[in-house]
Structure 1
């Protein structure tokens, strides 16, 4: 350890690449882990005064969308039983339904949040909300409007603008505000009597309590309800009876308690048995709205990808840096072997050196990453990767974990280099040669061709593979071919350099660049390999995504007849009134759970026709065919048995059943064959434009992921390239002194070094682009076979040029810096 410490202390510049790689990796891991651990589910604010919540038993499918419901009668019966428990002050069922405010015929607020904005009046007790003006609703057609938007339901303005939250393009995000600007409530001085009090609220607009009817949109269509009062919470509150009729079952019963909530929860479990799930404490957070959970999930995928890529890239850069360092220290390590150092001592010394660098980089990088995490909270909310109200909290586990992970991946990266270094013979202390000894190791000769053969075979076999596997097989073949090119780069570089440098072979600079590159194949390969991988991945990933988007647009457009479609505009779906106004029958979409024996299948079903039709996947999962009987559970908790009329492409149910059991069901889109009738919450556009909008919405999220992943990869590549050339150029000072002694000026030597760096980057970019282009052509061919149509091959020229230019700029800077720094050295020092 003392030898390792002395080496690190006196030759820290040799370990700069390892330090920077580990620092960046630990910072990425610490920051990402802090963001991930800070983003935890939270129970909705409307249950703040209900420390114990009861939900129906889970259906056992593992899909969060398959939450079961009680019927209204079942929920009332269970609430009566729960209210008898000692310590329970109230047991309140909480049915919710879709409602959205209209202003000048335009829906306000967030489409997805509005799905749960309608509530029964009795549920205000669960959030501790109070009547701030007017009176409670007493009959159908009356409503109390909330004047606040809690953090958990705050509208996702930027996500809606970017189309990343699953809501239709065109949401009026400009009308969305948060609790801080929710509005002003002027209470009646007479003690709550209705006296024309004006309320201004973000979701409710301007209404007058006590006489004005507010225009709202429900799943059935537009309605006008009399505003009887306001509460200091969010949402729209109607009578319990009307809420029960509009809601698709009851999913939550809230308990307000006096005393110990845990004791009440235990008593509730004993009373309910298998009829319900009792949640207290942190278990309540499982009731976070699905739209918010989806946002957290999307953000989590990006953070997990960043952590994984950061760890692997750190291993790669550390391994590359340590391998080059060991090659440059060959005489030094040979001298240690000559004076009696054993192979084990050499390995332990290199591991100790790397461990010291990793600990230092980790101790500095982890706090830096955690300090940067709060700066990313706002952008993540704006891009729809975290819900509104998200904030970063102190996470000591992220700090410690990132440091430990940095140490582990650094030791993993140095293992191969340390093993090779320990095999250096003592006689190497007496040798010095400019040519690289054996740039191709036996492992490269074995693994490289194997990867190439496997990748080529996979591309060749793609026409025989099932259609659904071809795109995946194409990506796998590309990864194998890129790995083969990186492993065989020392062999491929020689002929490629000869071809690229041929036009300048007769000039002095060209000759020096050509021969210096061919002599230092290991150095060039260490520079070109990361460029090859990064350019190849950029071309492959960005090109595949762009090509798939083109194919998806062609394929989806072909599913519809030529014409126009009516789609939601700022709403989660088309209301029944909007569809019937066009002279069409609503095709309501609902979610069902189907059972045959012990087999279950869940999914969406469309209300159409007068019989149950199963999609092929569900029929196979259930083992059901036409004529069999299937048990169906609807979203409102009701169950029935239906005969299977047929097996087709999608699941359909009798329309009357969907209306009866899912009052909140809406139509997704409507193909029009005549002049449309304007209705609230709808818009009309050509089918092709609609399809491309849908693809663009998903593509924006994919592009965001690509930007993050390619950016991080390019950053690590820049580190690897810069560190390789910095170390290599510093080790060639004797060679440069000899050139100046022979009459070359500093400018001439600088041109040679710069040309070598650019040549190495160009070689890597050419190899990566060629391999990725071949693989991308295979992916396109697979997609063409899959959809039966010609597809244009999309090459990401801008992204490829940007990544290559970044690598070239850093390569030139890293190669020139040691030369300029040592420009004052006397050429007499050359030996």
Structure 2
């Protein structure tokens, strides 16, 4: 082990003499190393940003407010652990039995233990004005005993002692213009009740920044929660001399089924969105960071390959005068150590800026609360430094292999011209990956469900790697077939562009391969998303048949009582309440089990197709009663579920059920992949309410009269609003947009890095041709002719990158569309295609034009005598 570690360190840290030689070569060839430096610096920025996000997710969050006076906060397990390091957060709050409070209070070292209850409410003043929390945050109702967790103290008035009495926090009372003696309506779900304000509570020292609080009697709070025998959390104060960590261990050892939180983690219990954000940030930044490390290795290796190719004569001469393969290896490795060290350090500052920019996108996507704190420590910077240096060293080793193993005599011969043949290993890998990618794409013929779409989408990576391996052959073929059509042979510049491209296809492919990779990844992202969104929108528009959609203006949901009220409106034909949550479905997968998260809805089965047509394939949704479930075709095929069989589900609050499958349907993208009975879903949501209510009028009903009667029936529900079909998609729990936005964020960062690599490579390959341009000018070529020649080469590069990039995109998109919609034709956005082509053209043409002008700046007589 010690020998292995020593060799690993030597791989990254060369001897002093190697560094001295490397520094000399870098000083003599500054321009040749700029490309590698830029690639590493950009990679360092992205890796640093991911590291900062990861560290923030692991160690920070939001400071607790109402729980700021506690030592330990106890909750139920809010996650389902797939393994020791991977978890899935439940979408609803998991509560605790109320009798746990007494058990915790009996643990030695506990001074007090208080069970806390959260009930989201809307505050409506006498003039009908609804007052929310600060900056749009919600208002929560609690039992008065929970005031001790802040602690809150009564500044004016008294504590509540009757069911119709309430105490408001000072900021809420001021904004609502309420004082003791006033009357206020509190809306829980959709039900409004009048309360008399008896006191104003002063919050703890830090105040309330992301909530407002109202306090009721404990009994009334339990009644409004709908769970009188449950509590959301238990706040614990430690006895004198007992530390938080020690007390947490004592409690969890004495009382099973509890998760203890101390310090900043207490905020995760108080604010579920914070815990969800921490989990999402850690998972996504770790996954994307790992992907970026692989991309950095690839890009750096590609840049180094071009750099080494431009130094063929120099390296061949070193081999000819006696340099050993090992010395060549160590020289290139030492160069990469110095360049990567400088590049990694320079990229750290932009990495901080990028991390905060990504944080803003997380916030806009509702995946992170606005007050989520970022942690900037030394760990992300050290990790970025080490990863960039190891990546560069690995890339240097890969490109040095061929140069180092060639004999001295062959080296001088090879240096004169560009090598034509590819290594057999590289050729074999590139050729074999194409049928493997096609096999994955066609996998949905044998494997149905969302696994088919997943494997088809992952095939794009195989095609990208294949293009990278056999790029010279592909681009040589493209030049032979399309070169004459892209450049007129009757002109000198057209002939030269064609001849240059044909003679230097390896150099051309080195420049065009990253561009093709960017085209492929961008097209899969854009057209994959457009296919999914178009299918989802089409299914929802085709299946939603309600005339009106009822939702809550406060976002708190619609109470079940509203459904009964609407059913009594004259002219109503069908009323369908819709509750939403996320569920975990566990199913056999090969030799083990797999668990996936799916969007679920709860509906009533009575004439469901009149308001929501799921396009039933098999079974009958009218049987959705008790512990039953209907699954979309994609999910049913994924989990191999049959009508009459049971499936293993974990509901949004972690409750395990085994419902019987009674139907399968097609429109899962539009309405959710899992459909359950409405009462089952509502009973396991945090607020015990529906997300929306669908209303269908009877045939022949006068629309104007019906609308008036419906709105009149809803007058006593101040937070319920009547909307059209668009309101159904925006109802709470519809989800999807945030995930898509985050996916777009990471793809944008990835494509941005690839764009930098493309520009970098094109500039390097073009700027290295100073002597070639000088020679052409000395034998009579005009600068405009040389620029026209380079425009011809740019046409070849652009066309080839678009051709192979889009060809590599087609099979995965066809497989993805077939797996999700049973149609082999994906939805291709014309605007998206135009943007991809425009960006490709701009990157290619702009980079080559800029580098050409730079390379032609020296006088031809001076440039022809310069070094390579």
Interval of TM-score (by shorter of Structure 1 and Structure 2): 0.7 to 0.9
Decide which moves more: 756-765 or 518-527.
756-765
Tell me which residue corresponds to 1:438.
Answer: 420
Seen in structure 2, the aligned counterparts of structure 1 residues 78 and 350 have a Cα distance that, compared at 3 Å, is same
For 1:643 and 1:547, how far apart are their aligned partners in 2? 33
Correspondence 1:813-824 to 2 at 5 A: 813-823=849-859
Cα displacement string for residues 418-471 of structure 1 (whole angstroms, at most 9, x for unaligned residues): 111102321256447764212533223211221112223344454343143332
Aligned pair partner of 1:351 in 300, 317, 333: 333
Aligned pair partner of 1:125 in 148, 151, 163: 148
What SS does the corresponding residue of 1:122 show, helix, strand or coil? helix
Seen in structure 2, the aligned counterparts of structure 1 residues 692 and 491 have a Cα distance that, compared at 3 Å, is farther
For 2:390 and 2:686, how far apart are their aligned partners in 1? 56
What SS does the corresponding residue of 1:138 show, helix, strand or coil? coil
For 2:458 and 2:247, how far apart are their aligned partners in 1? 51
CA RMSD of aligned residues (A): 4.3
Tell me which residue corresponds to 2:114.
Answer: 92
* Number of residue pairs the alignment of both structures matches: 764
Aligned pair partner of 1:135 in 155, 158, 165: 158
Tell me which residue corresponds to 2:436.
Answer: 454
For 1:363 and 1:63, how far apart are their aligned partners in 2? 35
For 1:254 and 1:588, how far apart are their aligned partners in 2? 31
Aligned pair partner of 1:242 in 220, 245, 248: 220
Seen in structure 2, the aligned counterparts of structure 1 residues 479 and 108 have a Cα distance that, compared at 3 Å, is farther
- Say if 2:39 is the partner of 1:55: no
Shift of the alpha carbon at 1:8? 1.4
Tell me which residue corresponds to 1:170.
Answer: none
Seen in structure 2, the aligned counterparts of structure 1 residues 310 and 146 have a Cα distance that, compared at 3 Å, is same
Tell me which residue corresponds to 1:726.
Answer: 763
Seen in structure 2, the aligned counterparts of structure 1 residues 19 and 594 have a Cα distance that, compared at 3 Å, is closer
CA contact (8 A) 2:551 2:693 kept: yes
Aligned pair partner of 1:709 in 734, 741, 747: 747
Decide which moves more: 768-777 or 244-253.
768-777
CA contact (8 A) 2:497 2:789 kept: yes
Seen in structure 2, the aligned counterparts of structure 1 residues 444 and 580 have a Cα distance that, compared at 3 Å, is same
Tell me which residue corresponds to 1:475.
Answer: 457
For 1:778 and 1:276, how far apart are their aligned partners in 2? 45
Correspondence 1:255-654 to 2 at 5 A: 255-262=236-243, 265=247, 269=251, 272-274=254-256, 276-281=258-263, 284=266, 286-304=268-286, 306-370=288-352, 373-374=355-356, 377=359, 380-428=362-410, 430-431=412-413, 435-498=417-480, 499-502=482-485, 503-561=487-545, 563-583=547-567, 606=602, 612-615=626-629
Shift of the alpha carbon at 1:606? 4.8
Decide which moves more: 534-543 or 440-449.
440-449
Shift of the alpha carbon at 1:535? 0.7
Tell me which residue corresponds to 2:195.
Answer: 225
Seen in structure 2, the aligned counterparts of structure 1 residues 113 and 236 have a Cα distance that, compared at 3 Å, is farther
Seen in structure 2, the aligned counterparts of structure 1 residues 707 and 797 have a Cα distance that, compared at 3 Å, is farther
Seen in structure 2, the aligned counterparts of structure 1 residues 285 and 327 have a Cα distance that, compared at 3 Å, is same
For 2:582 and 2:800, how far apart are their aligned partners in 1? 55
For 1:624 and 1:516, how far apart are their aligned partners in 2? 62
Seen in structure 2, the aligned counterparts of structure 1 residues 734 and 220 have a Cα distance that, compared at 3 Å, is closer
Cα displacement string for residues 10-40 of structure 1 (whole angstroms, at most 9, x for unaligned residues): 2121111111111111122123312331343
Tell me which residue corresponds to 2:789.
Answer: 752
Seen in structure 2, the aligned counterparts of structure 1 residues 258 and 455 have a Cα distance that, compared at 3 Å, is closer
Decide which moves more: 438-447 or 264-273.
264-273
Aligned pair partner of 1:214 in 184, 188, 202: 184
For 2:376 and 2:383, how far apart are their aligned partners in 1? 14
Tell me which residue corresponds to 2:613.
Answer: none
Shift of the alpha carbon at 1:52? 2.4
For 1:309 and 1:511, how far apart are their aligned partners in 2? 42
Shift of the alpha carbon at 1:275? 6.2
Cα displacement string for residues 482-541 of structure 1 (whole angstroms, at most 9, x for unaligned residues): 333333322222342242433511111100111011111111101110111101111111
Cα displacement string for residues 290-338 of structure 1 (whole angstroms, at most 9, x for unaligned residues): 2222234444455335523432232122111211222222222122112
What SS does the corresponding residue of 2:215 show, helix, strand or coil? strand
What SS does the corresponding residue of 1:670 show, helix, strand or coil? strand
Seen in structure 2, the aligned counterparts of structure 1 residues 612 and 229 have a Cα distance that, compared at 3 Å, is same
For 2:694 and 2:48, how far apart are their aligned partners in 1? 49
Cα displacement string for residues 147-166 of structure 1 (whole angstroms, at most 9, x for unaligned residues): 45xxxxxxxxxxxxxxxxxx
Unmatched runs of 5 consecutive residues or more in structure 2: 1-17, 82-86, 204-211, 568-574, 587-592, 606-623, 665-673, 698-705
Shift of the alpha carbon at 1:106? 7.1
Shift of the alpha carbon at 1:377? 4.9
Cα displacement string for residues 745-773 of structure 1 (whole angstroms, at most 9, x for unaligned residues): 22322332343234313321222123324
For 1:462 and 1:717, how far apart are their aligned partners in 2? 33
What SS does the corresponding residue of 1:706 show, helix, strand or coil? helix
Tell me which residue corresponds to 2:829.
Answer: 794
CA contact (8 A) 1:636 1:662 kept: no
Aligned pair partner of 1:69 in 92, 95, 99: 95
Tell me which residue corresponds to 2:7.
Answer: none
Decide which moves more: 509-518 or 38-47.
38-47
Decide which moves more: 762-771 or 302-311.
302-311
Seen in structure 2, the aligned counterparts of structure 1 residues 658 and 208 have a Cα distance that, compared at 3 Å, is same
- Say if 2:31 is the partner of 1:13: yes
Seen in structure 2, the aligned counterparts of structure 1 residues 458 and 43 have a Cα distance that, compared at 3 Å, is same
CA contact (8 A) 1:377 1:391 kept: no
Decide which moves more: 276-285 or 481-490.
276-285
Cα displacement string for residues 763-792 of structure 1 (whole angstroms, at most 9, x for unaligned residues): 212221233245434433444417xx9874
Tell me which residue corresponds to 2:616.
Answer: none
For 1:250 and 1:694, how far apart are their aligned partners in 2? 24
Seen in structure 2, the aligned counterparts of structure 1 residues 268 and 469 have a Cα distance that, compared at 3 Å, is closer
What SS does the corresponding residue of 1:355 show, helix, strand or coil? helix
For 2:249 and 2:385, how far apart are their aligned partners in 1? 45
Seen in structure 2, the aligned counterparts of structure 1 residues 139 and 17 have a Cα distance that, compared at 3 Å, is same
CA contact (8 A) 2:42 2:347 kept: yes
CA contact (8 A) 2:52 2:380 kept: yes
What SS does the corresponding residue of 2:374 show, helix, strand or coil? coil
Aligned pair partner of 2:103 in 57, 72, 78: 78
For 1:387 and 1:70, how far apart are their aligned partners in 2? 25
For 2:554 and 2:221, how far apart are their aligned partners in 1? 23
Decide which moves more: 312-321 or 672-681.
672-681
Cα displacement string for residues 43-86 of structure 1 (whole angstroms, at most 9, x for unaligned residues): 632111111233357897665437653444x255436635xx56
Tell me which residue corresponds to 1:690.
Answer: 728
For 1:654 and 1:477, how far apart are their aligned partners in 2? 39
Decide which moves more: 628-637 or 482-491.
628-637
Seen in structure 2, the aligned counterparts of structure 1 residues 648 and 20 have a Cα distance that, compared at 3 Å, is same
- Say if 2:782 is the partner of 1:812: no
For 1:594 and 1:700, how far apart are their aligned partners in 2? 22
CA contact (8 A) 1:99 1:216 kept: yes
Aligned pair partner of 2:48 in 30, 33, 51: 30
For 2:279 and 2:653, how far apart are their aligned partners in 1? 24
What SS does the corresponding residue of 1:274 show, helix, strand or coil? coil
